[in-house]
Structure 1
């Protein structure tokens, strides 16, 4: 084994445990949210205690404003939020990556992306969500997903375009242009493989932002409606009784925060350049 291979193996052995430690909380939380409906002890619409009943007995987290089991609703409320946030993050990252790579190669498209991003940034997120979600036929979770994707793509595209701009003028791009390669080849086969770290980091950030946007919309009752089990909706519904049963509000709030933090740490740990950064510490 060569010296370079030995050093690479030693680095991988040191970095791998740290990466696993960062990724594991996100994986466990996502699996728990997906399997939650299967392990919930009670039906989400069945009162099992008095309103804002205290924790204890068969209700470890007490009851909500209608006496329903908080734990059961908590276990049911995460899968839809994760699915919606994941959809937004995938769509925004995919669209931003495509538009950003082409924008870096086309000055005219790059100017259009920059102006569009500047315009969207000036629009307050809450106002944008309210305008688009309320105007969407039927509203609901689909409207929030579409709105978050629409509002998040221009700024994310600008990030990708900014990261791709220096590469667009590098030697390997000039060589590909001299060989007569088309723009789509330059964007997808030359630029994109060199933007893996940026794309993965962007995905983690977009997921976290999507979690907060969808949660905010749920708190404003622009997405899921009662009696659906949703973490943000649980916070809004049970906030008047926070002094009677704090878990009805604290538990879903902690779940949202832990989801955002754990996924962000996982994306950071999986970034290709992470190993070299850890080695420098």
Structure 2
């Protein structure tokens, strides 16, 4: 009796552990995203109003000190993450969706796949910094849309290659060939047969593309391509305050740490959400 009553509890505990691990690994990303979204409402000062001497040390009403114009670093840190997160999420979603469709079609239709591969090869030759300058500077009025378009163009070629490689073994399996011989249309094979078997790969890809988008958008902001002063932007804060890092290191370290934590936590959360049965399929990512 003792054995029969303890076994289900042990099994239940084992089943709960993965859930706890998933919660613990996704919680930092959720908290950081919520803090960045709600940050502008939590700020004590206006983002463009000087409250202390330039590069003042932390203390009083400025826990992280002030920047080169005397503005509160904490206020600008809280207000500078929302646009970056929204843009990166949008880019990751667009890139993953585009790669899912084009990569699967490339695996199902080798003729179309060769055309897609050649186009991806051309885009992959474009250096990221040069791509940022070419696309963002030629975009009418620049701004966030230019950064989103730049990150999208730079991210799609790699994502298509990964999805096509992951879809190839599925397409070569017997049930896909049977469905194709049975007269199923291409869209049916893509949506109903192949993509459901790529959920783990696409989820891992979404996390990677989010991190890549964060770096592209942050690099563009550091180059002052996109948001312009006095906008509150983490990458722009790093560039603006680099000259005074010895006077108030937090003006540079705080946004740098925020960008690193955002990329790391979101990628960790995406990896935690990948099903155990599909983790072998994403090791190549």
TM interval, shorter chain, is over 0.9
Structure 1 stretches of at least 4 aligned residues deviating more than 4 Å after TM superposition = 5-11, 274-277
Aligned counterpart, 1:107: 110
Between the aligned partners of 2:154 and 2:186, the Cα distance in structure 1 is 27
Correspondence 1:248 to 2:266 = no
Q: Deviations over 1:199-249 (max 9, x none)?
A: 000000000000000000000000100000000000000000000000000
CA deviation string 1:141-160 (max 9, x = no partner):
11010111112112211110
Correspondent of 2:242 among 233, 239, 244: 239
Equivalent residues of 1:238, 1:248 under 8 A apart: yes
Paired with 2:149 and 2:279, the residues of 1 have a C-alpha distance of 37
RMSD: 1.8
Whether 1:117 aligns to 2:133 is no
State the Cα deviation string for residues 43-69 of structure 1 (Å, max 9, x = none). 101100000011001100000000000
1:199 aligned partner: 202
Aligned to 2:51: 48
Q: Which moved more, 1:29-38 or 1:169-178?
A: 169-178
Q: TM-score, normalised by structure 2?
A: 0.92
Does structure 1 retain, via aligned residues, the 8 Å contact 2:200–2:278?
Answer: no
The alignment's TM-score, normalised by the length of structure 1, stands at 0.94
Deviations 1:146-203 (A, max 9, x none): 1111121122111101100111111110221232110110011000000000000000
1:146 paired with 2:158, answer: no
Number of the residue aligned with 1:178: 181
Correspondent of 2:22 among 19, 24, 28: 19
> d(CA) in 2 for partners of 1:8 and 1:114?
47
- Give secondary structure in 1 for the equivalent of 2:256: helix
The count of aligned residue pairs is 274
With over 3 angstroms needed to count, the CA separation of the structure-2 counterparts of 1:126 and 1:111, relative to structure 1, is same
Aligned to 1:163: 166
